[in-house]
Structure formats: C-alpha cells, structure tokens
Amino acid sequence: MGTSVSERLLVDFAEIASDWFWEMDADLRFSYFSARIKEVTGVDPEHAIGRSRFDVAANAEDRAFWRSHFDDLLARRAFRDFVYPYQSSDGRTLWFKISGQPVFAPLTGAFLGYRGVGSDITLEHETRTELERTIGALNATNRAYVSVNAEHKRQHARLLEQETALRDQTALLEATLSNMDQGLMMFDAGGRVLVYNQRVLDLLGLPEDLMASKPTFATIAEFQHRSGSFRADDAFSQHLGTAGLEAVQYGSYERTCPDGTVLEVRTVRLPGGGAVRTYTDVTTRKRQELALREREDELTTQNLRFDAALSNMPHGLCLFDAGGHLILCNAAYARMYRLPEALTRPGTQVQDILAFRRSIANAPVDAETYVEQHVAGALAGTAQSFKATLQDGRIVQVTYNPMAIGGYVATHEDVTEAILAEARIAHMARHDALTGLPNRTLLRERMEEGLARVRRGQGLAVLCLDLDHFKAVNDTLGHPVGDLLLRAATKRIKECVRETDTVARLGGDEFTILQAIDRPEQAGLLARRIIEVLRAPFGIEGHQVVIGTSVGVTCAPSDGLDPDVLLKNADMALYRAKADGRGACRFFEPAMDARLQERRRLELDLRRALAASEFELYYQPLVNAQSSEIIGFEALLRWNHPERGQVPPAEFIPLAEEIGLIIPLGEWVLRDACREAAAWPRKLKVAVNLSPVQFRSPTLLHTAVSALGMSGLSPHRLELEITESVLLHDSAATLALLHQLRALGVRIAMDDFGTGYSSLSYLRSFPFDKIKIDRSFVRELGEKSDCLAIVKAVAGLGASLGITTTAEGVETPEQLDRVREQGCTEVQGYLFSRPRPASEVRALIDSRSTWVGQAARGSDRQGTL
C-alpha cells in the first residue's frame, strides 16, 4: 500500500517542527526518528535505530532512576515529560525530555509499540545544574571569608596584647623574648642594640657574633645591605649604610625580602630615648589575603556572570526561602507576570506576588488549589513539574526544585505557543489542510465508532462522491480556483448533513460521508440532496463554474461490517453511478463487484492491445451536400479484441482517457490516418478526432508535425476535430495551441456543435474552419420543429462567418433534403456509408460517380451503395 495523504502530511509537518518524533516497535526498540533530531541535537538517528532507550542512555545502570519509566513501558501506559541523559557519539551527555503513548492495532488490540515526541533540554538542565553549583560556591566562599577575617582579627588582637605586654611588663622581657613569634631589637638613644631575641636573628639572617657585639643600628643596616637582604629596587636601602637611628622609620611598614618573605616591621620610640623594633613574618597571612582578594574578584566575576545569565534566560526564574520570601528573581519572571519593581525585591512574600497576579488576571485559573497543592508542596521540599493555565489564557510550564538549605528554585516557561502548535499538529494529522474536514485517519476512527454502534442495533450508511469535471476546472482555471471550489463544495455538503454525521475528504475531489440511519432510504434522500445542491453553479473568482456529482452508497450491516469492505463497496457504487450518466445515486449491489472485475480485465486488455496491433482505423465518407461527391473521410478507431470481437468505442475510449492510454493511442491514430490519406486522391481530406485529454498533451503539436512529415500529407488535407470541452473556460494555452496547428495549414473543426452551453462564445474565441451539427438535431428533423430551426440557424451562422457546416447522422433521403434546404455544406451518415476498413476505401472512391447519381435520386437509405 502507498503512503496515505495524512501520513505524508504528518511526515511534512514532522520535518518543519522544532522537536522530533520517534516510534518504538513492540520490543521497545526505536524504529523511527524524524529528521529534526539530527538538526536539533546533532544525534544521528541511525545510532539509535534498533536499540532500546536503555541501550543509548548515559545512566542505564541506575535502576532507581529508570524505575517509574520501566513501570510505564511494561504497563503500556502513556507518559509525559520524562527526562533522561543520552550518551552521544562524541562522548557528550545530552538531556532529553520525551512524551509517548502506546500504539495498538485497531482491530485486534495487539500492542504495536510506542509513538511520541522528544525535545532537547540539555541547555536547561546544564543551566539549572550550574545555578545550583554557583549558589553552593557562593555560600562556601562566604563562610571561608568570614573565617579568614576572624583569624586576622584574632592575630591582630594578639599583637596588640603583646605590644601592651612589652610596654607594661618590662620585667618579663627576657622570658617574653624567648617565646615571641616576632623578632625584636631594642636600641638605646645612640642607636646601639640593647636587647634582641633569636627570632630576629633567624628572620634577618644576622650572625650571633655580630649581635653579641652590641652593634649600632647603622652597622646592622650596612651588614644587611652587603649581604643582599634588601632588594636592589628598595629605595630605603640607598642610605642605610651611613644612617643612624634617626633614619629609622617609626610606625609600621612591610618589607619584602629577596626570597619572597614578607616582614611586617614595627618601630616604637622609647620614652627615655631609643626605640624598639619588631619583625613579624606575615608571608602566610599576606598570601591568604591575596588569595582572598583573588577569590573575591572571582566571586565578583561569577556574580556578574550569574546576573548576566539570569537577565538573559528565556524562562522566568525565582528563588524563595523556606519561609516563602523571595531571594531573587530574573527580569524574565517579572516580565512574564508584569510584576512591579517593589514585588521583585528580596524578602517579598510569595502570597503577595500571587495576590498581585490575581488582581491583573494572570494568576492560575484555580489560584487557591495552586497555592495549596504546588506552592505549599514546594515550600515543604517536594520537587514538582506541572502546567498551569492562567486566567488570561496563557499556559506556563512550572518546575519547582527544593534547595538543601530550604526553600526552592522555580522556573516558569510560557509554553502557550508550543501547546497550540502541538494541538495544531495533532489536528493536521487527522484533518484535511485545505477544507478542515476529517481525513482518512479520522474517518477510519469514526467508522470504527459507527460500526460499534451498528453492532448494538443502529444502522450506518457510507456515501462516496466526487466532483464531475473537477479536473477540467483545475487544468483550465488553475489549482487556486480548484482549491476555492473544493472549499465551496465542502460548505454546501456540510449544510446538507447533521452535526452527528461525518464528512471527510480523502484527497483530490473525493469525499466520504458517514450517516447514522434507521433505514437505507435516509441515505438516498441525503445523496439526492447533495446532488441537487452541487448541481447549482458556483461563482469562483469571477468565473461561473458548473460541476455536479455522483454518489455511491453502501449500508451496514447489510453490506458488511468491515471499514475497508464498506469503502470499497461505496466506491463501486459510485463508479456505477458515473457509468450510468453521472448526476445520479446508486446503492451497492453484489453484482457491481463482478462488473468492476470485468472493467479491470478490460483495462488490462486495453493496455496490451496497442502493442498487439489490435486497433484498426475505419473510415466514413464526408460528402458534399449539394453534389453528393466524396470530399474526404473521417477516421474512426475500432478495437478488434481476440475474444470479445469488436469492442464499441464508447466502451474503451473513456477508459483509455481515464488510464492515460489515450495519448499514445491518439498519436498512433494520427500517424496512421495521415499515412492512409496520403495514398488517396489529392482533393480528399482526412478528419481525425482529438480527445480533450490528448489535446492537453504538450506533445500534440510535435505529433501532428511528425505525422504530416512522415506521411508526406499536405497539411491542408488534415482536419482535426475537437469537442467543446477542449475550450472549456477559454484557456489561453488552448487557444495558443489551436493557432499553432492552424498556422501549419491544418483545418480545425468543432464536433457536436450545439450540445454545450457556450458554443457560440467559442466561435468568437477561435476562427474554426468547420462546425459539425450534432446528430441529435438531425435525427429528429422530421419530428421536432425546434431541431429544424437549430439546423437552419447553425447553417446560416456558418455561412455568415465563412465556416463549413457538416450535418452528422444523415440516414434518410428526407433528412438529406432537409439539411440541403437549410444550407449545410457537408453531410455524413449511414445514408452514404457505414464506417469501412481502410481496405474498402479505394472501392468507395472508385464508385463515387454511381453514388452521386443514386444519392441525388434519394435511393439506398441504408448506405448499401
């Protein structure tokens, strides 16, 4: 079976959607992905086809994570918004959110697998994870900063205590010096060392013998300068070699040694003169301070990035503490709910925000339930994800994730358009895009429902119909007009049915109606009502379009209880209605199936017949009405079937047009007729009928030129006959082709003139060489005065316009006399000859003198001459 229209639509709309579609077989292995999965995620569908979801997941071994999904799949339940990690071929872990529903066979209920939609939420997942990690880092950093600052204060306090002890407890100096962390030197008023400890020797790298000699400040400074204890760029070192105690910098400063050690040097004047200097190794503290500053800078950068991320998130985000107080929210959240600046400040109660939202009609529809079930649950630490419908019609996807420190993080995403898009896609999958009617998929569901009611005692009628001449409208006025016609016809059909009935479009101009009935006559009444309303002209884009319809009807349970059987039966009944002359309603009969099989056999035989040379051309004379001389022949196609004998053209020509065989068959007729006519006397012409289908072929002009060239027949001896349907709606392309054929020298005749509703307008559109008066007017010349008036009017019209007029179907001398009297220039009919095979044409031509005399006397009514 071919792909249905609805399946093609689903695949088209699947290829233009932002998410992707997937299918699983009954073994829960992937069997299909739409192409969007590769465009959206970079995932190659072939990587997952034939594998289960657990085969491709990044955490398949985590049984607890998969437990609920296992339960859904094993129970064959529908699931929504299941999130799981996917291991891509390049080693990345992607996060997908999927929804699916089980698929069961319509009749047996057998489990076929799953079908669903998926979306890539990797960015959302990573953003949420990074946010939680950032918040944790901020908290840890703050704790570390508080600890370092406290330690610094404690160290500073100890130093003050030590300095105070030095001032206040000079008696304990020696004991204190030996236990100090700082190096210490005390100078007298002359700058000579009085006291020092071992720590200062270690810190400054001074030898014991130098310090034991009680050196002056200047001596110590000079030693340090020579030993390289000062950096070369240290300006203070430039004059230390000659400076005395007066060069000492009182107060405190930091000194960085060449080895990177940082010393805090503090100098205090003594009341009686002299000074005390301490040296504290603050290298570790300075490194900690530097690290702290760097961390503060890093935190500042992270805060800036965090603020940027919050400001540029497409979704609304907010944090509430355990008491329901706002910690922070981003601009998207404020915009989404139109919150004033006052309600976005930290500390705002969640109830205040909801109260404001209720006041401007953008709170959830059931606000009280929303607070009780969701907000209270989030504050209690329950993770949630749900859709909330707001009073203003928007739909928001809300996700609550509890925080370890209490409270929760909430994200708000406006999914209104996505929901509407999903609804549109679901509607498109089951409805015809042009008319909005149910398509084949939905029709099948409705039929199953209707047949279920049939089994409980109710009747069901299935009506199939199509629009007569719809293809001609499309070909001549274009597909946009055809689409408008389909919509207009749909409107009329829907006005004929009840709300409980189903009208479906199966494609093209095919419609099916399901009607609940108590008796079959109800379906007949509906069918006739539809035929009547579609018969009335349509006004489409300034064109008056006349179509019509035929209807086939089948009923359940009498004609079957299977949807496919009922549709087939209704289609056969429709075919019978069209075969009986269109514009009719036919109920299904078992014998129709036999006729359909017969038609299929005829179609197969017809396809074989051209290659098997079963076709033959017969020729009927065209006679001058006044002289009764043969002026040419009309080529008529015959089919010599090996078993059926000669098949009437009325049986196989419409079938050939329907299956497209008329194009090659018509080309053969044109070539063979030109070849035969080339052997006749030069004054005789040959007329060839063109099917409307053949005339629309783009190769017709080439075929005519080729036939004339290969046969050597002069173009003015070829006459092409067309029917009024070729000129339907005055197609510019049709007229252009007619002018091209006429420019070759070929004559153009209008066949069956007078049977259409716009014949006269066609004579204004194109300068025909001949018009052939339909045999229906000639046949009743002696019985109906209006027929005589029509023949006279057409002959007079032809004379006025310089157009030859041919009366068809002349069978009696009386008819011949009448058409002569009315001024017809040519005649054709059984009075002169039945159509004869090509082998008998020469005999007809040779006997024309005898024929002329007898025809003039009105003898041989049956054309036996």
Domain annotation covers residue 687: yes
pTM score over 0.85: no
Q: How far apart are CA 128 and CA 438, in angstroms?
A: 43
> What pLDDT is stored for residue 358 in this prediction?
85
Domain annotation covers residue 356: yes
Alpha-carbon dihedral 831, 834, 838, 842, rounded to 10 degrees: -20
Query: Measuring CA to CA, which residue among 858, 812, 806, 517 is closest to residue 685?
Result: 806
Tokens of 74: 């094993």
> What pLDDT is stored for residue 18 in this prediction?
63
> What pLDDT is stored for residue 440 in this prediction?
92
Task: Report DSSP letters for 768-796, one per residue.
Answer: -SEEEE-HHHHHTTTT-HHHHHHHHHHHH
Domain annotation covers residue 353: yes
Domain annotation covers residue 489: yes
The more confident residue out of 133 and 308 is: 133
Q: How far apart are CA 214 and CA 220, in angstroms?
A: 10
Average the pLDDT over 42-60 and give the result: 82
Lowest average pLDDT, out of 136-140, 179-183, 588-592, goes to 136-140
For the chain, helix (H) and strand (E) counts, in that order, are 32, 32
> What pLDDT is stored for residue 249 in this prediction?
60
The more confident residue out of 714 and 691 is: 714
**C-alpha 865 chain-centroid distance:** 71
> What pLDDT is stored for residue 762 in this prediction?
62
Average the pLDDT over 394-416 and give the result: 90
**Maximum separation of any 2 CA atoms in the chain, in Å:** 172
Average the pLDDT over 36-61 and give the result: 81
Tokens of 682: 């030069």
Query: Measuring CA to CA, which residue among 331, 337, 288, 13 is closest to residue 152?
Result: 288
Clarify whether residues 621 and 727 are in a common domain.
yes
Average the pLDDT over 432-450 and give the result: 92
Clarify whether residues 664 and 800 are in a common domain.
yes
β pairing state of 193-196 and 183-187 = antiparallel
Beta bridge partners of 540: 543
> What pLDDT is stored for residue 377 in this prediction?
84
Clarify whether residues 690 and 824 are in a common domain.
yes
Do 312 and 333 contact (CB within 8 A), yes or no? no
Average the pLDDT over 31-50 and give the result: 82
Lowest average pLDDT, out of 102-116, 141-155, 355-369, goes to 141-155
Q: How far apart are CA 678 and CA 668, in angstroms?
A: 16
Task: Report DSSP letters for 448-503, one per residue.
Answer: HHHHHHHTTT-EEEEEEEEETTHHHHHHHH-HHHHHHHHHHHHHHHHHHS-TTSEE
Q: How far apart are CA 287 and CA 272, in angstroms?
A: 38
- CATH number of the domain to which 566 belongs: 3.30.70.270
State the CB neighbour count (10 A cutoff) for residue 764: 10
Clarify whether residues 635 and 765 are in a common domain.
yes
Q: How many C-alpha atoms does 107 have within 13 Å on its Cβ side?
A: 5
Domain annotation covers residue 735: yes
Domain annotation covers residue 287: no
Domain closes at, from 90, 120, 150: 120
Clarify whether residues 615 and 577 are in a common domain.
no
> Given a cut of 60, is residue 243 above it in pLDDT?
no
> What pLDDT is stored for residue 445 in this prediction?
93
> Given a cut of 50, is residue 235 above it in pLDDT?
no
> What pLDDT is stored for residue 236 in this prediction?
45
The more confident residue out of 534 and 374 is: 534
Average the pLDDT over 210-221 and give the result: 84
> What pLDDT is stored for residue 157 in this prediction?
74
> Given a cut of 50, is residue 241 above it in pLDDT?
no
> What pLDDT is stored for residue 220 in this prediction?
84
**Which strands sit side by side in the sheet containing 79-87, from one edge to the other?**
30-33, 20-24, 111-120, 93-104, 79-87
> Given a cut of 70, is residue 759 above it in pLDDT?
no
Clarify whether residues 678 and 801 are in a common domain.
yes
Q: How far apart are CA 483 and CA 485, in angstroms?
A: 5
Q: How far apart are CA 719 and CA 799, in angstroms?
A: 19
Q: Over the stretch 74-84, which tens digit does the pLDDT of each residue have?
A: 888 998 988 98
> Given a cut of 90, is residue 354 above it in pLDDT?
no
Domain annotation covers residue 447: no
Average the pLDDT over 44-70 and give the result: 82
Provide the domain count of the chain.
5
> Given a cut of 60, is residue 802 above it in pLDDT?
yes
Clarify whether residues 340 and 463 are in a common domain.
no
Task: Report DSSP letters for 6-69, one per residue.
Answer: HHHHHHHHHHHSSSEEEEE-TTSBEEEE-THHHHHH---GGGTTTSBHHHHBTTTT-HHHHHHH
Q: Which residue type sits at 505?
A: R
- CATH number of the domain to which 268 belongs: 3.30.450.20
Contacts of 74 (CB under 8 A, 6+ apart): none
Q: Which domain holds residue 250?
A: 169-281
> Given a cut of 50, is residue 625 above it in pLDDT?
yes
Clarify whether residues 737 and 770 are in a common domain.
yes
> What pLDDT is stored for residue 7 in this prediction?
53
Clarify whether residues 495 and 574 are in a common domain.
yes
Instruction: State the average pLDDT for the chain.
Output: 83
User: Counting every residue, how long is the chain?
Assistant: 865
Clarify whether residues 343 and 197 are in a common domain.
no
Domain annotation covers residue 719: yes
At residue 728 the predicted structure's pLDDT band, cuts being 50, 70 and 90, is low
At residue 141 the predicted structure's pLDDT band, cuts being 50, 70 and 90, is low
**Among 282-291, 318-327, 416-425, 485-494, the range of highest mean pLDDT:** 485-494
Clarify whether residues 324 and 219 are in a common domain.
no
At residue 16 the predicted structure's pLDDT band, cuts being 50, 70 and 90, is low
> What pLDDT is stored for residue 708 in this prediction?
93
Lowest average pLDDT, out of 116-120, 255-259, 634-638, goes to 255-259
Contacts of 105 (CB under 8 A, 6+ apart): 112
Query: Measuring CA to CA, which residue among 48, 55, 83 is closest to residue 68?
Result: 83
> What pLDDT is stored for residue 237 in this prediction?
44
> What pLDDT is stored for residue 497 in this prediction?
93
Beta bridge partners of 195: 186
Query: Measuring CA to CA, which residue among 527, 498, 506, 502 is closest to residue 514?
Result: 502
Task: Report DSSP letters for 540-603, one per residue.
Answer: ETTEEE---EEEEEEEETTT-S-HHHHHHHHHHHHHHHHHTTSS-EEE--HHHHHHHHHHHHHH
> What pLDDT is stored for residue 849 in this prediction?
45
The more confident residue out of 348 and 155 is: 348
Clarify whether residues 33 and 61 are in a common domain.
yes
Q: How far apart are CA 367 and CA 388, in angstroms?
A: 10
> Given a cut of 60, is residue 767 above it in pLDDT?
yes
